[in-house]
Structure 1
Amino acid sequence: MVKIFLILTLLVSFSSAEDLLIKKIQSLISPATFAKDKAYIDTIFSPKKDFYEEDGRVDSIKVIKTLKDNGILNLFFKKPRDINISFKTKGAPLLFIKIMSDSLQNIGYYKYMTKESGFNDSEFTWKINLISEYAADPIIVSQELKKSNCKIIDVIKENDTDWTYIVDMKNAKLDVPKVEDGVELKLKRSLYAYWLNVSNMEKIEISSSSRNDWYPHIAYYDKSLKLLRVNKIDTKKTNITLDIKEDTHYIKISDIYTLKNIKDDLVLSPTAKKIN
């Protein structure tokens, strides 16, 4: 009797697991497509156990990639449409928005509007709207987020134009150059402010070419991207030394007036390492 009970329990568990995968597939494609390609879907998703994470969750990214690679999931529209994307996390909101906005920019999304942002039951949501001829590709978004040690743990398709991403930020960091002791770093001319990871440093010397008209604007941030302090120097500088306080993890280097003032490289020379 005990053996029968155990066998039945295992069968129910296995069936429930299969149901989760099938439900995820059905949520990503139309009922007509699912019915038409059912036999093919059974084939490409075999064995089903390969589409689950170690904790029992369906691997949404792997499911989407399999559907997409086999021509079952189409992310393109016949004409541009309004797209709504919600990004959710339990991590630090400022760091999350910075990582997400950088990732979107890196995959070609520059023009979007924030529709809402805020906490709900300890979960932070950032919702954006954009006009595009295709829905954001979850595979490309996932690959971009990996650069910042973030992982997409679920992708929810409400309909063709409304998507939600659940993001794990447990080990999140900005995908920016890290200043290391004894390693000179050259910052090339850029249209954007320079973000750097300075978590290991105590002092950094910055040299600026005489061709530059650099009026330093330095912002200091902690690990969660909370702004700690800002230094503005309204005098042209060719050399400055930064004192990196204990809680500082990132800095942003810019110019008070315009980055066009920086025509040549800025050269960073670490001069003192933090003692842990």
Structure 2
Amino acid sequence: MVKKLLLVLVLALSVFAQEVIEEELLDEKIISFIGEESYSKNRDYIHIIFRDTKNFYTKEHINVVKVVETLQENGLLHLFFEEPQQYEMTFHSTGSPLFFVKLMGDTLRSMGYYRYVTKESKNDESGFEWTISLEAEYVTDPVLLRKELSTCGCDIIDIVRNSATDWHYDIDTSKAHLKVDQLEIGKKKKYSRLQYAKWLDVDHIKSMQIKSHRANFWYPYIALYDSSLRLLKVIKQDEETSEFNLNLPQETRYIRVSDLYTITNIRYGLEFSPSGKK
């Protein structure tokens, strides 16, 4: 009987200790976002809105985006600057660097960020890091960033706010895919008024026919990539083409279709007719 009571007591103390650790870690993360001074001023209020500690954890990890969102909703985290200024964002992933930069670049552009410069990039045993610098009136909203990343199968694991102008994001890309149209066997896809090279997901496609609009002057330039965006093959044709038949290697996941000279040569569009399953 005594042994059972001691076991229950040990388990209870273990659970209590775990809860204390989780609360302390959550407090540390909150402080990292709003600073010691703001935390001290609003300690009681913060303890009220974060009283259900478990709600801010996903398994054993803090749900940092939910923490950020809660702070924003309660007026405790401000992302705006008094005037436009330069700030940095560093993105970290353990996936393919080429794929990651393409994915993050597409994500940033979909959020309206076109003018940024790469400040630094490094690849080591811990993964790949890409740091960009941009000028804006406010810091990128982590909640909106996560929402956009989710459309590509990604998630934000952690966020570190080193300062008001220095943010670090750890991104899970284990289920990532480019946010591009996926071709389906037997279903034609027609794209008009092309202004950029066309990216497509051809994961299950064995071959396809590409037709150029009769008003185009198309000189095919087609690049084939695997799932990590490793270049598999480049097809160039220095001859005006109205129709092109393309066979895809087994490992092909994405294709990029453009013109050998200028995108305006295919501005009236292309039609894709996929067939055959890999």
Cα displacement (A) at 1:234: 1.2
2:33 to 6, 11, 28: 28
- Give 1:256-275 correspondences, 5 Å limit: 256-274=260-278
Alpha carbons 2:188, 2:274 under 8 Å: kept: yes
Alpha carbons 2:194, 2:269 under 8 Å: kept: no
Kindly provide the CA deviation profile for residues 172-228 of structure 1, in whole angstroms up to 9, marking residues without a partner as x: 110100010011101222321110001111110011111011111100000100001
CA distance in 2, matches of 1:229, 1:176: 19
What letter corresponds to residue 4 of structure 1 in structure 2? L
1:215 to 213, 216, 219: 219
- Give 1:76-225 correspondences, 5 Å limit: 76-225=80-229
Cα displacement (A) at 1:57: 0.5
Cα displacement (A) at 1:3: 3.5
Residue of structure 2 in register with 1:5 after alignment: 10
Alpha carbons 2:195, 2:267 under 8 Å: kept: no
Residue of structure 2 in register with 1:60 after alignment: 64
Alpha carbons 2:32, 2:161 under 8 Å: kept: yes
Residue of structure 1 in register with 2:242 after alignment: 238
Structure 2 runs not aligned, ≥5 long = 1-5
Report SS of the residue matched to 1:15.
helix
Cα displacement (A) at 1:8: 2.2
What letter corresponds to residue 166 of structure 2 in structure 1? D
CA distance in 2, matches of 1:68, 1:259: 43
Structure 1 runs not aligned, ≥5 long = none
CA distance in 1, matches of 2:225, 2:10: 57
Residue of structure 1 in register with 2:52 after alignment: 47
Report SS of the residue matched to 1:9.
helix
Matched, 1:227 2:227: no
Moved more, 144-153 or 119-128: 119-128
CA distance in 1, matches of 2:166, 2:195: 32
Taking structure 1 as the reference length, what is the TM-score of the superposition? 0.96
CA distance in 1, matches of 2:112, 2:97: 22
Moved more, 33-42 or 128-137: 33-42
Kindly provide the CA deviation profile for residues 7-65 of structure 1, in whole angstroms up to 9, marking residues without a partner as x: 222221110011111111110002222122222212222311100002x1100000001
Deviation above 4 Å: which 4+ runs of structure 1? Answer: none
2:19 to 7, 14, 19: 14
Cα displacement (A) at 1:5: 2.9
Q: How many residues were matched structurally?
A: 273
Taking structure 2 as the reference length, what is the TM-score of the superposition? 0.95
CA distance in 2, matches of 1:22, 1:167: 22
CA distance in 1, matches of 2:52, 2:275: 56
Q: Sequence identity of aligned pairs in percent?
A: 40
